[in-house]
Every structure is written in C-alpha cells, then in structure tokens.
A and B are shown apart, each in its own frame.
Chain A
Amino acid sequence: MSFRFVAFVWWSSTTLLALPGFGAGTITGSVKDAGGTTLTGVFVSAQHTGATFTTTVYSDEAGRYRFPELTAGTYTVTAHAGGFQPVRRANVAVRDAALPMDFTLQAETRPEELLKQARASEWLSSLPGTDEQKMSLGKNCGSCHHNLYHLQTVRFTKEDWVKVISAMEKIDVIGEIREPRPAYYMPWRHGTKDQIAEFLAKVQGPDSPLPNVKFFPRASGKATQAVITEYRVPRSNAVPHDVQLDSQGNAWYNDFKTDYLGKINPKTGEIKEYRLPSKPGFHPGSSNMFVGDDDTIWVNQRIAGTLTRFDPKTEKVVGRWERVGGYDRFDSKSGIAYGTNGQLDVKTGMVTRYEYKADTDGYGTAVDSRGFAFRGGIADSDIKLLNPETGDVINLLTPTPDSGPRRIQLDGDAYLWFGEWFGGKIGRVDIRSRKITEYSPSVPFAAFYEAGTDPKNHHGWAFDWRSDRLMRVDPTTGVVTEYPMPTRDVESRRTAVDTSTNPPTVWIHGAGNGTIIRVQAPL
C-alpha cells in the first residue's frame, strides 16, 4: 500500500508552557459601554503569544468576566461584541496572580465595520425585503455549504446575478461540475431563480446601500459561564469537515478540501497532522468520519469513493477500501463496520448489502448497537427507521413541514437527535414511541446541519450556521441555551461531546474559519 505519511507537529512554546510547573494566573475585570452601563455576553478573548489556541469567556449578568487558569506568559486580550469597537490589549503579562483588566467599549457606528461584525442571520434580518425573500437566500444560496458571507462582498446587476446563480446550479459543494446536476440538488425554495436574482440585485446591486445592521441579544444567564477554546488548524487553507473524539479525549478532524487528518490533544494544546492516501485524479477531500470502538479513525474520501482506516497508535493507515459505501460504527470484536446500507468485514473486505422494502433516501446516517439504521431525510422531511433484518422502513415525518433533517446522532439506542436544515429547529425522536419533539432557537433564519448528543445527561447539542450559535437542549425542561461563538463563519457539521469531563466538553469544528472549537459549559 502506498501511503504517504507526512506528519508535522504544531508544537508551540505555549504547549510546553502549558505543562505543570510553569506557573499560572488569570485575568478578571468588568466590561461597560461608554455610558458606564455594564455589558453582558461580551466576548473577552486571550491568546498566549505563539499559541495554537485562543481562550474566550463571556462577561456575566453583572458585566464581570474571569478567565480560567491561564499559563503564565504574555497574552493579547480582546473584548469584542457586535455593535461595539473591539478593544485590544497587547503584551499583557500574566503571572501567578489575578490580573485586573477592565474594558470600556465604544459604540461602532461605521456601517462597513458593523457589516463585518454581523452574523449571517443578523445580516439577513437587517436587509430590506420580506421574510420570503430573505429565506430564499438562506435556503438556496446557503443550502450548499457557504454561509452567505460571500454574498455580502460582491455586487452585480440582476443580469449578472442570473449568471452567477446559473453557475451555482451546476456545481457541487466543492465547486466541481456534476452532471446532470449536483448530488442533493434541491428545488428552489421561497422564490424562483429570477426572483432571487432580482432580490440580490436589490440588496447587493451596484447602488445598494449598506444595511443598518441590528444585532441579536448576546449570551445571557447560565450561558455566560461557558469557556470557549478555539484551536487554529495550522494550515491557511484548512476546511475541517468533522470532529470526533477518541477514548482519550483527543479531538480528531478531517478536511473537506484536502487529504489531511489531524489530532488535537486538549491537555497539551498539541496539534498533529497526517496526510491520508490520495487517489490520483480524484479530489482528495473527505466528508464523514467516525472513531471505532478500538479508537481507529475511519475517514470517507467522498469524491474518490475511498474508505480509510487509520491507527493512531502506529500512526499508519491499516485499511483502505474503494467503493464500499459509508459506515458509521466499527465493532473490533467482530471486525465488522456497520453502515445504514450494509456491513464491511475488514478482514475479508466482503461487503454485505442490505435490501430494504422502501426508499431509504437521506443525508445523515446512524447505526445503533443492535444494528438498526437511521437516516435524516433532508428531501422528505422525515427520519427513516431502517430494519436491515426485515427490510422494513418506517418514515417518521417531522411536525414542521419542509424541515430538511440533515445529520443525525443517537443517544444510546433510545433517542435520536437531528438538525433541521430548512426548518431551523432541533429535533429529537423517542425511538420506542416514535414521537418527534422539536425545539426552536430564539433567532430567525436558523439552519442546523446536525444535532449531537450528551448521552450522560441526555441533552441535545446543535450548531446554527446562520447565527454562529451552539445550542444546548434540555429535553426535560425544553429550555434551549444559546452560546454565540467568538469568531464568525463557523459552519460546523458535527458536535462531539466528551462526557468523561465535568461538565461535559463539547467540540465543534469551523469549516468556515479553519478552527476546531471546544466549549466547556456548566450544566
């Protein structure tokens, strides 16, 4: 097997300083506006010089913030929030004590700067036009994989917008032409092609004024206790597609556009990257990945149609198959990888395909411990329950029509969580009773690519692409807690929860901004 193994380590001085014995301190203070009013939910971010990551906390209801223990050293500290000019303090020396640091934020009034701060749904909300017109952008232009930010940077006449939309119709999410049409091609929603071009020419035309951006409420209450760590993937071109956890709490990520596989050790901050084999002539990017029960990493290179198994212990590829389909879990005792459409025997390479009695079309996939399979029916607005033994297919329609369930995740064998890409809600299926419950965020134009789960506390976690907010759902109370992310354009497709920590540690990935993000949020 020809395997190009190239590993490099992003091993910063901060990583070494993070080890015990180098001292630690913190920074604490208040955040107010120019009038002296305390501000809640403002991001305060600290980055150690040369570090792989940035730590962010929110100001609380009293306008106070406090970082968790910070390794001694020199930091850059920034207080920032939509509608305010960021305040940046460089060369901040953190020693063994609590360093006081107060911030006073001046209101930002420059329209072009406000636009740079706006999240996608804040931009949509601020545009002139009807909700139908705005949803036509979110659900068509944003239906593939970009988050509408690019629309804000271009201006065309209506005739040229028609050209742009016509080009977009032909390509898939990596930008390559697919004949006769891209996979998961969807019908136009909330407007025709011509109507969308007309609306775009109105809001992003030659003479369109900049919108008067209105920002959504910031984090509040319990959410302000969260600590967010953003790890910067050490490549300028990184597009992490998934994040998954091994049994040691390491976060693994793949890349949608390249052949990289990476690992973050949250204990040290070390980021290590590997290169997977590429298939000559085929796009090297990967999509779905999962971690087997033996901690091997399974990566699906979508365009090349290859499945690769990587062993972290030997740091080598230990299995590679072509055109065997997608899989969701691996049982090392039996040596079988289980997918929704079949099984792969890793020793023989034999694939056993399932035969179902009805259509199983869907986007997200999951397989429970019994081998039952599930799919998120993005086109059918249902969750499909599949029985490989009998071939039975049960369609559970979501209460919200045209909801577009996308990726899904199981909470044991009892519950299944899903994100509604078009419906803008987070859903949970009680598998036994087959009842679906939906939970709504506070913000409009939401789009959830998936929903993850905390199987210890039975909470759901999902990320809204349009507002850049991670959300936790407590199904016992129905409460949705929202955690805005510090850096815009996250675009996370996967939520992985480490329940070995207290509180559970939630990981998402920034396909849009090249980060892997850890969120530590008290229950």
Chain B
Amino acid sequence: MIPASFDYVRAASVDEAVAALTEHGDDAKLLAGGHSLLPLMRLRLATPAVLVDIGRVSDLSYVSEEPGGDIRIGALTRHHDLAGSELLRERAPLLAAVAGQIGDPQVRHRGTIGGSVAHGDPASDLPAALLALRATLVARGPSGERSIPADDFFTGFLETALAADEVLTEIRVPALMPGTGWGFEKFNRRAQDWAIVAVAAVLNDGTPGVGLVNMGATPLRAAGVESALAGGASAGDAASHAAEGTDPPADLNATADFRRHLVEVLTRRALESAQA
C-alpha cells in the first residue's frame, strides 16, 4: 500500500527531465500521471530511487493538426482529453475511442498517453492502437530528438526503445481520411478491468492496421490479418489469421488457448465495425 522511499525531483521542462535522467540513470523513473507507475510502487513491485516528476511540464499536453495531415499529440495529454478531443474524433477516431475505455473516469483524468505508452505493457490499449495507426513516437534525449516508428518502439515486456535518458515527448498519428473505417473491441470481465484481449483495427485506405492487446510480451501487429485484408479477404477470413505469431499469456482471466480463440472473434468484430 505504501511505496518505498525515494528522492523526488521536479522537472519544469523536457530538457530538465532529460538532464535528471542523465544524472540518475537506471535509478530514476519518470512520473507523469502516475497511473502506470504508482500502482506498481504501492505494491513495491517497482522501487525507483529517484522519481522525476514531469507532470508540470506545461507544453506537452495538446492535440493538434499538422498541415499535411499528421495529428500531433503531446505525451502528457490525458486519456480524458484524448477521448474528448474533437480533432481526434474527427481525424483519428480509433484513438479517441480507445482512450475513452481505459480504466475508469478517475484513471482517465490522470493517466497520460505518454505514460501509458512508455510503460511498454502489452496489456495496455493505446500501444496496440498506435501500431494499427502506424504512429511515430518522438523522443528527446541528451543528443537531441529522434522519431521512432511504433513498430520499432515496443521491444519487450515492459521494455521500449527509449533509452534510460530519453523522454517521450510526442506521438504522431497519420490522419485518417474522413470516413475511414475503424473498430475497437475490448474484452474484459468487468468494465474497469484491463483487457483480457483487445483488438484495434483501422482500414486505412489499402494499408489496414490491426493491433493486438495482451497477446504476447509486447503489443503486436496482426500481420497475417493485415495481409489477408490487403489481399481482399472478408472480415471473417482475415480474422482467422489473428492468432498467428502471437504468444498469449495464461493468467487468472484466461488461458492462452482462450486468448487465441478470443482474438479471432474480436478481430472479426472489429473488422466488421470498420467495414460498416
């Protein structure tokens, strides 16, 4: 219930955060909304020696549109604001829908897209949506800024391509043509629960994207489904490929076999929504 002691540092800017991470290395974790990190710290499953609080960095909460089509989302944008963003609902509605189903309203008032994504949890919903949307993640470190495609971002269980001294600053999503079909199917025991399995799908004008939640050590792209769709397969036929290349966990809520079954059902339903 009570975290172990730690030193606390406030960063007023991204540069200050980078400097603090550089100084403390692996001893430090970033604190944004705290809804990925604090639950772990309260159970002492995470015991960082230093917390670098970037929650007050003022210019990292935004949803804006680039001329030319990219949606740019500040890493500290809260799930609540993503769900309510008119721009997002119009240009990348999958993301707004996914954000609106994370946890519960209290969680959504605090949790941020950057915090959720940088945590690298395959059971989180947003990473799978970013895979489906072919998003790019922007990180800033001591040597400057770099862009990381979502496909390269999730490297292992609770591991991302971010270096220990890098801060995720922005998520860029190619804007979808109006009317682009999308679907999101989240399956859980109770409404507030993490997904047992979830599927985020977008039929983006010939380059379909299908992201899977909780089907492996990282969020996964359902490549088999995507190529089937690109080849003209129906929702049902495409969905039959959904479990390919996955390594779903077995836990209290489901066996691996049940997850393999669910992912096909949820994929088909997400695709049917997208095609409707």
Answer yes or no: are A and B bound together in one complex.
no
Task: Give residues in A with beta carbon < 8 Å to B.
Answer: none
Residue ranges of B at the interface with A (Cβ–Cβ < 8 Å): none
